[in-house]
Amino acid sequence: MDVGIRARLKRISTDDRYLIVPMDHGITLGAVTGLADIESTIDAVTRGGADAVLTQKGIAPRVHGNKNGAGYVVHLNASTVVGPDTNDKRITGSVEEALRAGADAVSVHVNVGSDFEGKQMEDLARITEEAHRYGVPVLAMTYARGNNLDGEDPEHDPEYLGHASRFGEELGADLIKTAYSGDPDTFERVTESTRLPVVIAGGARGTDRRTVENVRGAMDAGA
């Protein structure tokens, strides 16, 4: 691994553990509660111990000065809930723009199993190549989502999640984010599918206890 990638991964982690708080929901949902005054939210979560925050590039001026020494990830694709299909993530920036915005890493969302998988595959491959030329790590958000998946709950199926996670490694990412399967036994099948560090998405807001149990279970499974 490139020395620059290693150095920047340390800026968004603590002792090889990653607590990254995504705040790119403004482009997807609008200025929902907690994101209208995003400065206060960034200040609160980083004071609380978050390793890094993640936003779209245009929010960078509101991030710096409020992140209390935490790392910064710029997300490079998006969709909206009012558009034709939320699975259709389109490119919103470049690695060079992210670096100009002060990013320590970049991220890309891919919906494995959707009708848009092919284009998103190309996007992730291109961004990974570009990022590594600059020594910038790539967080691949690889989810099992789309009309081409079978089963009652394909988004949390460990086989699909394992495939999505391996997908990110195969295209050169440095860190994988995916959904939690629901228990450590099945999630081991996900973490065993890749040699890369795996982090879990927060998912729908549940009880604090359930959130902590999910994190504990994921870590016990190797995340």
Active site residues: 143, 177
Classify each residue of 69-105 as buried b or exposed e, where b means 16 or more C-beta atoms within 10 Å of its C-beta. ebbbbbbbbbbeeeeeeebbbeebbbbebbbebebbb
- C-alpha 113/C-alpha 110 separation (Å) is 9
The answer to whether 81 and 49 have CB atoms below 8 angstroms apart is no
Q: Where does 101-207 have alpha helices with state H?
A: 117-133, 158-170, 184-191
DSSP characters for 74-128?
EE-EE--TTSS-TT--EE---HHHHHHTT-SEEEEEEEETSTTHHHHHHHHHHHH
- At 195, which amino acid appears? R
